[in-house]
Structure 1
Amino acid sequence: MLIAFEHVGMTVSNMDRAVAFYCDLLGLTLAQRNEVDRGEIGFFDTGAGMLEVFAPEAPTVDRFRDVPLHEAGIRHLTFAYSDLAEVLGRLEAAGVEVIEGPRDARNTPLIKQLAFVRDPDGIMVELIERGEGR
């Protein structure tokens, strides 16, 4: 029997920058950070699941590549907030790249408003306020 979504894993170029973005700016909690074989790993708690972040000791060269709609793959991460304007203002003040929004969502029973930003490695992150149906 399924009990919960546990975590999704990703690779970043620098763990300190990932902690600054995901914890300091987005509000996730750093649950664990350890040196591992060939790099460093961190688990960032959202309160409803974890984000596993791996930073290799060898420098990463390429930024994240957006997955085209005709290819299989993960397109973005999504985090829900009680006040989208507040978190978006904090990100803009920190110089975070805003791709889109804020705007009203199309699937309003689930999502009221949304915005898209990029993390320090170019990974697309969606920020939402939940709709009345959630």
Structure 2
Amino acid sequence: MIHFLHTRIRVADMEASIAFYLQLGFELGEQKDSPAGNKLAFLHLPGNEHFLELCWSPDYEVAVPEDLMHTAVGVQDIISYCDKLENAGIEIWPSAWREKFSSGKRKMAFVTDPDGYEVEILERS
């Protein structure tokens, strides 16, 4: 059997990116320097095998084109999760997410990390 193990993204500011993903509920695992001189940080969500690898390189300029890619997380109660993020100063979009959720439509929202990567939030039972 083949397993999907991790996703690497390049970041401009390792500490800001770590802080952002910790607010989303990720836990910080190992941090190390790669043989190529990159700084790496490994984050995971409890109960998940797949992890997110943040990579900072001194000679790499991060410029994420809009809508290039996104990651997605599933939460049991999207309203309380988004409230928590919004109270921490993270912008939830679309801006009228509360109204959309009350109309019974599919509950989906997005946040954007410090480098412009989108994180989709889906309600999953």
TM-score, L = length of structure 1: 0.74
Unaligned runs of 5+ in 1: 68-73
Q: Which moved more, 1:114-123 or 1:87-96?
A: 87-96
- Match of 2:17? 18
The answer to which structure, 1 or 2, has the higher relative contact order (CA under 8 A, 6+ apart) is 2
* Residues 61, 5 of structure 1: alpha-carbon distance in 2 compared, 3 angstrom cutoff: closer
Which whole-Å CA distance do the structure 1 matches of 2:58 and 2:81 have between them? 31
Does the residue aligned with 1:30 lie in a helix, a strand or coil? strand
Q: Residue 118 of structure 1 is aligned with which of 88, 103, 112?
A: 112
Alpha-carbon contact 2:62-2:115 (below 8 Å) kept: no
Give the structure 2 partner of residue 97 of structure 1: 91
Maintained 8 Å contact 1:13/1:60: yes
Q: Which has the higher strand share?
A: 1
Gaps of 5+ in 2: none
Aligned mates of 1:21, 1:125 — CA distance in 2: 11
Higher helix content, 1 or 2: 2
Question: What SS does the corresponding residue of 1:117 show, helix, strand or coil?
Answer: strand
What is the Cα deviation at residue 59 of structure 1? 6.2
Instruction: Report deviation, 1:60.
Output: 2.8
Distance in 2 (alpha carbons) for counterparts of 1:123 and 1:99:
13
1:6 alignment partner AA? L
CA contact (8 A) 2:109 2:122 kept: yes
Match of 2:30 in 1: 32
Name the structure 2 match of 1:84. 78
Q: Which residue of the partner structure matches residue 71 of structure 1? A: none
Q: Which runs of 4+ in 1 moved over 4 A?
A: none
What is the alpha-carbon distance in structure 1 between the residues aligned to residue 81 and residue 57 of structure 2? 29
Which whole-Å deviations, capped at 9, do the CAs of 1:52-80 have from their partners, x for residues lacking one? 11011236353x2124xxxxxx5210011
* Aligned residue pair count: 116
Deviations 1:12-71 (A, max 9, x none): 111111111111x11111111112233310111123210111011236353x2124xxxx
- Report the TM-score, using the length of structure 2 for normalisation: 0.78
Task: Compute the RMSD of aligned alpha carbons.
Answer: 2.2
Residues 96, 119 of structure 1: 8 Å contact kept = no
